[in-house]
Structure 1
Amino acid sequence: MNMTKAEKTRNFIVEKTAPIFNMKGYAGTSLNDITAATGLTKGSIYGNFANKDEVALAAFDYNLKNIVSGVEAEMSRQKDVKGKLLVYINIYQNLFGGMVAAGGCPILNTAIDADDTHPALKARALKAVLNWKNRIMKLVEAGIDAKEIDADYNPEQIALTIIALIEGGIMISRLTAKPAHWNLIMDSLKNYVNSLS
């Protein structure tokens, strides 16, 4: 299916601005940042998007899709449930260097940035976390059914723990500027996942 010129331009704007929104946040990203990143005029930006909100929402979706597609591709290579759960840790661990350069995790950044200032972005971040939680819960439930994970474990608790340690690890590492902290937290998380039997 061929894209129209307008669709190509919209995609170009999103690809060029997604890292900026992720680094600077919604409030910190100006129209000048958007025009500088794309080389387009303000008229071209607003000819393709109604306002900065639309660009920000599209940028969040783009950033999230990149992470989700990487996770799904790697999960398809795993045979057991623990391997699939460890994919989340490994993907984030492998991306960490690049994520710092690109501003970090879009879910964490958007949740903090838009908490009280941008309800639509906050809703997107909430939906992303809930979807992530539900995907992990389904994996854990499949692991319990396959007797890979003990039936006494609570799938929701496991999902929330994995998400909290990944996002908390990113936050602590960025605040302290010490990737070693990230590695310590991820090692603890790997031990936790491996102990689920």
Structure 2
Amino acid sequence: MKKGDKTREHIIIKSAELFNQQGYAGSSMNDIIAATGIQKGGIYRHFSGKDEIALEAYDYAASQVGRRIAETMDREASAAGRLLAYFRAYEDAVNDPPFIGGCPLQNTAVESDDTHPALREKARQSLHRTLMQMKGIIHDGIRTGEFKANIDTDALAAFALSLMEGGIMMSKLEGNNRYMHMNIATFTAYLQQCCSNGQERSS
């Protein structure tokens, strides 16, 4: 990788960590300079401004979360196990989330709802992508006979993501993973009712 590309990547990574902890509105160019150790002129050689950095930083943060979930999912053989992998990636949401500062989708969706349309669209796309991935897993489970054929895939995917995001938010707010752990147990029990044989089948 060329030096210029490394510098650009460094700015994206450090800015992603900054935005996911302090928020977009709460982070100034001076904060980015402090986080990266690169002067304003050096940053502007690579980006037109904070908006451009924020959009690429979001993509980076989301990719890191996706990688952790994929790694967790790779250890699962069943559809139920793969759905639970999303939760287990955030099992230690307080101390060891997939990306520093918590869930980029959640953080960005809340902050940018009425303030930053481009970032809001990034979060909306992530939401759609995650739900589609979950629905794909559910469809696989139905196709293989693991899940009951009459399952509402849209409803189950929405329930899964809502339960996961709620667990992350409540655990981070309280500084204790108990809500995430309770939601994992709740979703595990719910998936057992969705399985054709009434039991979760995971590796």
Bin for the TM-score computed over the shorter chain: over 0.9
Residue 129 (structure 2) pairs with residue 131 (structure 1) = yes
- Code of the residue aligned with 1:141 in structure 2: it is H
Question: 48, 59, 62: which one pairs with 2:60?
Answer: 62
Q: Is the 8 A contact 1:71 1:87 kept in 2?
A: yes
Q: Is the 8 A contact 1:16 1:37 kept in 2?
A: yes
- Code of the residue aligned with 2:60 in structure 1: it is Y
Structure 1 residue 5, shift from structure 2 partner = 2.2
- The runs of 5 or more residues in structure 1 that have no matched partner are none
Structure 1 residue 195, shift from structure 2 partner = 2.6
Structure 1 residue 96, shift from structure 2 partner = 4.1
Question: What is the alpha-carbon distance in structure 1 between the residues aligned to residue 192 and residue 107 of structure 2?
Answer: 29
Structure 1 residue 177, shift from structure 2 partner = 3.1
Instruction: Normalising by structure 2, report the TM-score.
Output: 0.90
Q: Is the 8 A contact 2:72 2:88 kept in 1?
A: no
Greater shift, 43-52 or 74-83, is seen at 74-83
Aligned to 1:90: 88
Aligned to 1:149: 147
Question: What is the alpha-carbon distance in structure 2 between the residues aligned to residue 128 and residue 90 of structure 1?
Answer: 19
Aligned to 1:111: 109
- The runs of 5 or more residues in structure 2 that have no matched partner are 196-203
Deviations along 1:45-101, whole A, 9 cap, x unmatched? 111111101111111111110111122233233222111111111111145422399
Question: What is the alpha-carbon distance in structure 1 between the residues aligned to residue 193 and residue 70 of structure 2?
Answer: 23
Question: What is the alpha-carbon distance in structure 2 between the residues aligned to residue 94 and residue 145 of structure 1?
Answer: 32
Question: 120, 128, 137: which one pairs with 2:118?
Answer: 120
Q: Is the 8 A contact 1:85 1:193 kept in 2?
A: no
Distance 1:98 1:48, change over 3 A: same
Question: What is the alpha-carbon distance in structure 1 between the residues aligned to residue 90 and residue 128 of structure 2?
Answer: 18
Aligned to 2:175: 177
Aligned to 2:198: none
Q: Is the 8 A contact 2:89 2:98 kept in 1?
A: no
Q: Is the 8 A contact 2:94 2:172 kept in 1?
A: no
Aligned to 1:196: 194
- Code of the residue aligned with 2:38 in structure 1: it is L
